[in-house]
């Protein structure tokens, strides 16, 4: 029987336990995307707090895919490797593995931030924050994106990360290629599942030739809200293709940005949206109640807020040999024990519980606490647009 607090192997990486920090954008890099000392200290705090492994917040592979959130970390050139190597060294010194998540934001960013037009498989406007219809990528631009991902995998290995995770979830560029809702192409990059998967297949296969048996993981969506969005049957197919193409482990998530808070289910945080969102700031306050009603309808996430991807992750696990990580609303030690001991999934990961308590794993292990203190207020999800991540506990400091 697997046990939560026993040593475990994930894609050949040794973890002290089966609780992983899921990717969480930190906003703690400098304006060029290099991790700062404050950022490294944050990871040391997580490592000290007993986490099994850290998956970094998404790290950008090229400038036109930079996040709209505050100061995205970027691995878009070789001269950044040294800064990451220092981060890895310090986390390894605390006997904690660290995996770099890599991403291109595709249509889910703003050209005001990146300095470039947004790009996507198809010119379909993002329902939440895109100013323009994204530019439909040409064949040669797709090749260029593949090259940047492969280069990022190589840089990750050179910097000493224990592995990389391709961000194929939440509507970002690779996710939008996989999703029938966002990819309406008629060429070899769209249509059938095989075609929509092609860009990921190329990245995995080309990277494998460069990095040998280096661990490559993926985070996928098993559900998207729109009628033509991702569904579990399609996600199972994609997971199998990932395994066939050398992916070493899969984390199962759901939701794209225009779905609202479906990827991090919880309360609708209108107070911080009204105070900080660039669009809302321009709207007179007396109209806010109306705006709130409209936005809530568009963005609110459904109940339950707990374990909402577990069923999908289990279905995917049944079809695969490689490890599957469950994420989404995992807050209670009893639930984690149940998932691991009953082999429902191989690992669990959490994001928000680590923002409020970086040492939650030690507290669980020592029996000092049975449940995360996170109240799913989701202020943290909006706050990262303007500043480094932090827990607001449902309140904006005035």
Ligand X SMILES: Cc1cc2nc3c(=O)[nH]c(=O)nc-3n(C[C@H](O)[C@H](O)[C@H](O)COP(=O)(O)O)c2cc1C
Check residue 23 for interaction with ligand X (CB under 6 A): yes
Stretch that binds ligand X, among 6-14, 191-199, 225-233, 379-387 (CB under 6 A): 379-387
Check residue 352 for interaction with ligand X (CB under 6 A): yes
User: How many CA atoms are closer than 13 Å to the CA of 315, on its beta-carbon side?
Assistant: 17
The residue (of 284 and 347) whose beta carbon lies closer to ligand X is 347
- Annotated catalytic residue: which of 43, 58, 172, 214? 172
- Catalytic, 172? Answer yes
H or E stretch covering 158: helix 139-159
Please tell me what DSSP assigns to residue 277: -
Stretch that binds ligand X, among 9-17, 229-237, 274-282, 328-336 (CB under 6 A): 328-336
Determine the Cα angle at 293 with ends 290 and 123, to 5°.
Answer: 100
Q: Which of 322, 361, 380, 391 binds ligand X (CB under 6 A)?
A: 380
A 10 A CB-CB count for 165 gives 31
- From residue 369, alpha-carbon distances to 7, 46, 340, 348 in Å are 21, 17, 18, 17
Determine the Cα angle at 313 with ends 207 and 235, to 5°.
Answer: 60
Q: Which of 52, 57, 68, 358 binds ligand X (CB under 6 A)?
A: 57
Size of the site for ligand X (CB under 6 A): 26
Q: Which of 159, 199, 239, 381 binds ligand X (CB under 6 A)?
A: 381
Cα 55 to its chain centre, rounded Å, is: 9
Residue 118 CB, nearest approach to ligand X (Å): 18
Q: Which of 180, 328, 358, 388 binds ligand X (CB under 6 A)?
A: 328
The residue (of 64 and 165) whose beta carbon lies closer to ligand X is 165
Helix axes 193-211, 232-244, angle to 10 degrees: 30
Check residue 336 for interaction with ligand X (CB under 6 A): no
Q: Residue 247 has which token pair?
A: 């992916």
Phi-psi region of 71 (alpha: psi -120 to 50; beta: other; left: phi over 0): left
Name residues whose C-beta falls within 8 Å of residue 276's C-beta, 6 or more positions apart in sequence.
382, 383, 385, 386
The residue (of 287 and 334) whose beta carbon lies closer to ligand X is 334
The residue (of 256 and 264) whose beta carbon lies closer to ligand X is 264
Check residue 46 for interaction with ligand X (CB under 6 A): no
Check residue 164 for interaction with ligand X (CB under 6 A): no
Contact 68, 16 (CB under 8 A): no
Name residues whose C-beta falls within 8 Å of residue 3's C-beta, 6 or more positions apart in sequence.
340, 341
Check residue 329 for interaction with ligand X (CB under 6 A): yes
Residue of 54, 51, 153, 147 whose CA lies nearest to 102: 153
Place of tokens 């109640």: 289
Residue 119 CB, nearest approach to ligand X (Å): 19
Check residue 39 for interaction with ligand X (CB under 6 A): no
Check residue 43 for interaction with ligand X (CB under 6 A): no
Residue 260 CB, nearest approach to ligand X (Å): 13
Contact 134, 89 (CB under 8 A): no
Check residue 327 for interaction with ligand X (CB under 6 A): yes
> Of 85-114, which residues contact ligand X (CB under 6 A)?
101
Check residue 263 for interaction with ligand X (CB under 6 A): yes
Binding positions for ligand X, rule: CB under 6 A? 22-25, 57-58, 101, 167, 169-170, 219, 253, 263-264, 327-330, 350-353, 380-381, 384, 389
- Which active-site residues does the annotation give? 172
């Amino acid at each position: 029987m697997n046990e939560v607090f026993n040593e475990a192997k994930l894609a050949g990486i040794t973890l002290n336990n089966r609780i992983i920090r899921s990717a969480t954008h930190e906003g703690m890099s400098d304006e060029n995307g290099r991790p700062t000392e404050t950022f490294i200290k944050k990871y040391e705090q997580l490592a000290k707090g007993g986490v099994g492994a850290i998956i970094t917040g998404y790290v950008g592979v090229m400038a036109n895919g930079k996040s709209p959130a505050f100061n995205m970390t970027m691995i878009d050139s070789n001269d950044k490797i040294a800064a990451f190597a220092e981060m890895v060294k310090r986390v390894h010194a605390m006997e904690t593995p660290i995996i770099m998540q890599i991403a291109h934001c595709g249509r889910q960013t703003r050209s005001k931030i990146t300095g470039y037009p947004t790009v996507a498989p198809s010119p379909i406007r993002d329902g939440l924050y895109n100013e323009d219809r994204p530019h439909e990528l040409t064949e040669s631009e797709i090749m260029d994106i593949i090259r940047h991902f492969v280069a990022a995998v190589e840089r990750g290995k050179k910097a000493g990360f224990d592995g990389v995770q391709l961000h194929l979830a939440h509507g970002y560029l690779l996710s939008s290629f996989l999703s029938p809702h966002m990819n309406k192409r008629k060429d070899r990059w769209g249509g059938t599942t095989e075609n929509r998967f092609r860009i990921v297949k190329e990245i995995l296969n080309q990277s494998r030739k460069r990095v040998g048996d280096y661990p490559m993981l993926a985070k996928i969506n098993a559900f998207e809200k729109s009628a033509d969005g991702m569904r579990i049957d399609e996600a199972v197919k994609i997971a199998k293709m990932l395994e066939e193409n050398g992916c070493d482990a899969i984390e199962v998530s759901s939701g794209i940005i225009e779905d609202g808070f479906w990827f991090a289910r919880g309360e609708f945080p209108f107070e911080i949206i009204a105070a900080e969102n660039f669009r809302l700031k321009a709207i007179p306050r007396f109209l806010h109640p109306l705006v709130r009603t409209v936005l809530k309808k568009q963005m609110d996430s459904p109940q339950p807020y707990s374990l909402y991807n577990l069923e999908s992750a289990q279905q995917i696990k049944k079809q695969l040999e490689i490890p599957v990580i469950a994420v989404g609303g995992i807050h209670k030690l009893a639930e984690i024990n149940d998932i691991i001991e009953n082999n429902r999934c191989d690992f669990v990961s959490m994001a928000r519980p680590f923002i409020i308590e970086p040492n939650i794993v030690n507290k669980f292990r020592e029996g000092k606490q049975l449940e995360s203190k996170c109240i799913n207020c989701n202020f943290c999800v909006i706050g990262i647009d303007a500043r480094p991540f932090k827990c607001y506990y449902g309140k904006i400091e005035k």
